[in-house]
A and B are shown apart, each in its own frame.
Chain A
């Protein structure tokens, strides 16, 4: 398979996963804001929550260049369509669409049309983002598209190199996104423990919903909304498709699939396998959150390393870079010493 095609499929997976997760975050957060408890604690809750989305998506520095405050409108605009945010929903969809154009005939017509339609429709939906209904409609449109896209992919794409690159991109991105969410919630600057259990539980439920994990968690653990239990579930559950462990296993499968079909470098698969094994054999989430062996940041770095090695092994075959060419300076015929 051409490196360019493999790279496009991989990045398409990453961009669409990112768009979906960002859309879900925004949609859930918006709902949370409307429903949140009204007591003294919750005013801080309301003010803090939109801003928190920025730490989850690792955008803060860039955001601060453009905005002085992090309220609803600013954060929504930044995460959906700001021209200087390369991870915005709009940017992710535009990139995914460009990738899809490159691999147009490796995916089927419906997948292309879904992306193309969504990209065109979103422009119109952006005008209504300031309203609750508008934001909801926007996020719903994105999530429908990504669901449709991956659903058709699952049903129609042959399990060849192309499929594995698409999957690898998707699951690496998923791991990265969930790990960052966990980090923002349980990492370096944990949130003040809310004394009011109503508020505490409300926040836990909101957190689970923002990862699409509420119902699944409830089935798994219906008695408590304990922070440790949630973290454990999202990091280490073996059956929930958004858990880091589950995603690591799929990424490992994809990396092995690629290695098997191409006979290429064993590095990406080795690293993916190691990550999956670590997560499988961790005794519990406290080792990560409290003892930091490994820490959440180290796990995020491990995911990034798999991505880097994949890039090196499959997308960067030896050859000149694609910079603009420069003509060599020419020598004038002067018939005298220079």
Chain B
């Protein structure tokens, strides 16, 4: 590129991360834009091509579900980084810590005394009737009283640039590996734009993760045996499982590598069996133990849940955490913050209407054309209806489903997500694309937020869907200390 880079940029009707409404570059981006403009023409493009190669060579790929040739795709990467002003990050970070603390307080409560339910702050049915509320682990003690050791809290910005929490992901949140890979590639390919900018590090994430996991060990040994449990190479996030296991220097296991004996979990190695203390499990509760959950699952470890109940193995994230992941429960998180922490929520929720509640149901049916309607139990952009973008017939069909099972749906006003200049393959120009942010919060003895996180971008013009399997990409995310 050159000094002309981005000068023709046309923002849309949405809040743009880089440009103000008047077309000026925001303060936090001044340095980056200037540095990019100092590069030689064509440099950005050629380095962009190199980035893709770099990802492939490092195996940073994912398999697309259903592709029989087993081809591996790289998660598209856009070289223009997203920068979060330090002042904004301070607030976001504090808000994330507060939110995760509240979620854990909620989980320890509903799996033990259930005070929040007894006192009627949240409806019993919503929690105890939730299919992912796991009675099987009710009453079980968890180390540090934490359930969500790794949390990915998705954040978006609205029309005026204000931050909202879009979704809490506390079951098996993924993306940390891309956050790390993006930074590595950016640093290698664009060293000059980093120089002297004071970008906060993210590369210590695997160390933090390992420390967090190790702190959960039931055995008080110097080097607890931590493993990453993966469903296997056919899982779309397999690369991340491999990557994190390698970075932490721990074994990557599948269910068949482990077995239960003597009330403990063991790993099958060429040196005989080795006891396992902590399992960072990247597989959902349903599949983790055929004795306790789905008996047809061959991905898990028979008898694991009993060992967990007896406190002889730790699981991260804890079993049953999924009840905090649910979109209907999401609408109560601000209440959790006030109830458990006696504080006002720092980060705002998006107003949410629950199909489970009569007023919410009415709202949904009356305003379907202006709302985003989602199933409470799905993620990744699947199973949702974007009211204004749908035809009347599509809305009618969807509402019929809602009518059949209203408790399974919630709706939110359509949020005009912020945009970020992103390279468009067809025009070769930088155009506005919607983005979100997934910061990662680690909870062990303490709660830590890694600066920045994964910025996901919807690559298709006009699309709001940022998920990788549906045409999303990502950007490096900077928090600049100031």
A residues near B (Cβ < 8 Å) are: 1-4, 6, 101-102, 104-105, 109, 116, 120, 161, 258, 262-264, 314, 317-320, 322, 324-325, 327
Contact = CB atoms under 8 A, between A and B. Distances in A.
B254 interface: yes
Give me the 6 closest cross-chain CB pairs, A-B, nearest first: A319-B259, A317-B268, A3-B268, A314-B270, A262-B270, A262-B271
B242 A320 contact: no
Contacts of A322: 256, 298
23 contacts: A1-B270, A2-B268, A3-B270, A4-B256, A4-B257, A101-B70, A102-B233, A104-B242, A105-B242, A105-B246, A161-B270, A258-B270, A262-B271, A314-B270, A317-B272, A317-B273, A319-B261, A319-B266, A319-B273, A320-B259, A322-B256, A325-B295, A325-B302
A104 B70 contact: no
Given A2-B257, A319-B266, A264 B59 contact: no
Contacts of A102: 233
- The residue among B233, B270, B271, B273 with the most chain A CB atoms within 10 A of its own CB is B270
A120 B268 CA distance: 33
Nearest to B245: A105
Given A4-B254, A102-B233, A325-B295, 18 more contacts: A2-B267, A3-B269, A3-B270, A4-B256, A4-B257, A4-B268, A101-B233, A109-B57, A258-B270, A263-B271, A264-B271, A317-B268, A317-B272, A318-B273, A319-B259, A319-B261, A320-B259, A320-B302
Nearest to B241: A105
Contacts of B253: 2
B267 A116 contact: no
A226 to B, nearest CB: 45
Q: Is the interface of B mostly helix, strand, loop or mixed?
A: mixed
Nearest to A325: B290
Contacts of A317: 268-269, 272-273
B56 interface: yes
A109 B56 contact: yes
- The residue among A264, A314, A319, A327 with the most chain B CB atoms within 10 A of its own CB is A319
A217 B268 CA distance: 45
B69 interface: yes
B251 interface: yes
Given A3-B268, A116-B70, A322-B256, A104 B273 contact: no
Contacts of B251: 2
Nearest to A317: B268
Interface string B240-282: 0010001000011110110101000011111111000000000
Nearest to A6: B270
A264 B266 contact: no
Given A2-B251, A262-B271, A264-B270, A104 B59 contact: yes
Contacts of A318: 261, 273
A104 B270 contact: no
Contacts of B261: 318-319
Interface in B279-309: 290, 295, 298, 302
Nearest to B57: A109
Contacts of A2: 251, 253, 257, 267-270
Given A105-B246, A325-B302, A120 B69 contact: yes
Interface string B447-458: 000000000000
Contacts of A3: 257, 268-270
B148 to A, nearest CB: 28
Contacts of B259: 319-320
A31 B254 CA distance: 46
B270 A105 contact: no
A102 B56 CA distance: 18
A319 B268 contact: yes
Interface in B384-440: none
Nearest to A314: B270
- The residue among A116, A262, A324, A325 with the most chain B CB atoms within 10 A of its own CB is A325
Nearest to A98: B233
Given A2-B257, A4-B254, A104-B242, A327 B271 contact: no
Contacts of B295: 325, 327
- The residue among B242, B254, B267, B271 with the most chain A CB atoms within 10 A of its own CB is B271
A264 B57 contact: no
Nearest to B238: A104
A325 B296 CA distance: 8
A102 B252 CA distance: 11
Given A104-B242, A320-B259, A109 B270 contact: no
A319 B57 CA distance: 37
B313 to A, nearest CB: 16
Interface in B166-193: none
Interface string B11-41: 0000000000000000000000000000000
B64 to A, nearest CB: 15
A160 to B, nearest CB: 11
B440 to A, nearest CB: 22
A298 B194 CA distance: 68
